[in-house]
Amino acid sequence: MAITAGAQPVVSVVTVCFNAAATLEACLRSVVDQTWPAIEYVVVDGASTDGTAAILDRYRDRIAVLISEPDRGIYDAMNKGIAAATGEFVIFINADDAFVGRDAVRHAMEEVSRNPDADIYYGSIMVRGDGFTTRHDPPPPEDAAVEMVTACLPHQSTFARRSVFARTGGFDLRWRRHADYDWWLKMMADPEVRLHRIGTLVACFRLGGASSDLLKGQPEVFEIQNNAALYRSAEWDRKRLAMFQRAWLEARAELARLREAQAAQAAGGWTRLRYRLRPPGPREMLAKLRLIAVRTLPQPAVTGLRRLKHRLFGRQRA
């Protein structure tokens, strides 16, 4: 995609992919259709073998930089994208992600122009899962450290100045599933890095990516968090413990209600259950659990809750 010269800041959109033929084209289309004229599109493919290359060929004239070679994982590929980017801002829209509309970058850059002094700008995302979609509005910078205890600011809606990466480096490849979480904590602990929340909806994100394996991913999150300079105090230890306890209790309460619903269904007692639980009904309970999982628990924990729901009720079509 050509870069327009002038006063408008160039946005480098980086997409990394590997064997992503099922979702890649929607991602590519959401990028090339953007109305913001100053976009540099960088795509890093990990030498896919499933038809991804053929899709990329169809969009080759809209891609400024295309790298296709084996890598050491998603964050190695993202670091390659950073190294290849030349724009003032960098945003990652990976193969399972997409901009929410043709004006997503334009609206974000308009907010940047009104608040030009920050280094990292982040907005809202749409989160999609099995049969549900919800909007997530991240908190302002002054509340971001609390958010990061049980969640993460969304990289899919984050525009970071390339100078930030030049000063602090890219993603730490020690972390195979949550290097973006590690990067955020480092940025927030750096007094020279200024964050700003923008009020626009930027991208949509589908649950179930590389970071969603609970048993493999969550220990990594805890290790990153427990060693982060941002949380290295007795006060933060107390705060984090209280937040984890509250999140655990809320999840357990909702799961207990789901089990009760299962038992009532098996006994043919839906009439009594509806009377006792109205409001909410069974569908509302599931929706509430999903919101708690998405907004309260660490992202990898969502998969575990979804699997339990599937065991209780079976897989349901949207």
**The predicted structure's pLDDT at residue 157:** 97
- The predicted model scores a pTM of 0.80
Superfamily of domain 11-213: Spore Coat Polysaccharide Biosynthesis Protein SpsA; Chain A (3.90.550.10)
Q: Are 53 and 25 in contact (CB under 8 A)?
A: no
| Structure confidence by residue, pLDDT tens digits, 66-78 | 999 999 999 999 9
More confident residue, 130 or 5: 130
Q: Residue 209: which pLDDT band, with cuts at 50, 70 and 90? A: low
| Residue 127, φ and ψ in degrees, nearest 5 | -105, 125
Q: In this prediction, what percent of the chain has a pLDDT beyond 70?
A: 80
| Structure confidence by residue, pLDDT tens digits, 297-311 | 555 455 555 555 555
pLDDT at 178 over 80: yes
What residue ranges do the domains of the chain occupy? 11-213, 234-313
| Structure confidence by residue, pLDDT tens digits, 70-109 | 999 999 999 999 999 999 999 999 999 999 999 999 999 9
pLDDT at 318 over 50: no
